[in-house]
Structures are given as structure tokens and as C-alpha cells.
Amino acid sequence: MNKSFLFLIISFGILLIILIGTTQGNLIKGQISEIKYHSSGVVLKIEGEEYLIFEKRILDLSEGDSIEIKFKEETYKGKDQKLIEKIIKYN
């Protein structure tokens, strides 16, 4: 194998790993059962689990809305939390 072909294969592999890593995430679909606004952000309760948004803003969402969220799990002060990265609302 020549060096340029080997370089091309390795570059493609690295690109593929980066793409897989950025598109993977935790997804959940469900209905909002509760919305709580706090001074530090918003808590959505979906399927009995709480998901957090650390932004002070009013959401165009209501209890009973069907949504899909992408979230990541983090530990803060010894407590596991689910932080919302993206919300899609379904009519």
C-alpha cells in the first residue's frame, strides 16, 4: 500500500468516528406531564423523569404536549441529572 492511500483510509476513519460521536445521544419521546420554572432554568417531567434546561426562558410548551428531546446525562454534586440539548414538538 502506498502512503497516500493509507493516509486517506485513516482520515476517513477519523471523520467517521467524529460524525458518529456527534450524532449519537440519548433520545426520548413522550408527553409532558409537568413544567416547572425556576430561577436557574426549567424542569420538564416526561414519562416520570425530570429533564433540565439551564436557561431562563419561557418555552412554547404546555403540559400534555408530545415532544422528542435529545439530552445528556451529567453528575452534579453527586446527583445524576438529565440536561436537555434539543427539543422537537409534535402537533
CATH code: domain of residue 86: 2.40.50.140
66 found inside a domain:
yes
- What is the domain count for the chain? 1
- At 31, is the pLDDT very low, low, confident or very high (cuts 50, 70, 90)? very high
Q: Which residues of 19-32 are buried (b: 16+ CB within 10 A; e: fewer)?
A: eeeeeeeeeeebeb
Helix/strand/coil (H, E, C) string of 15-61? HHHHHHHHHCCEEEEEEEEEEEEECCEEEEEECCEEEEECCCCCCCC
Say if 61 falls within a structural domain: yes
The answer to whether residue 69 is domain-embedded is yes
pLDDT above 80: residue 11: yes
Does residue 24 surpass a pLDDT of 90? no
Q: Which residue has the higher pLDDT, 50 or 59?
A: 50
Residue 22 is predicted with a pLDDT of: 60
For residue 70, the enclosing domain spans 26-90
Q: Residue 23 pLDDT more than 60? A: no
- Rounded Cα gap, residues 67 and 13, in angstroms: 34
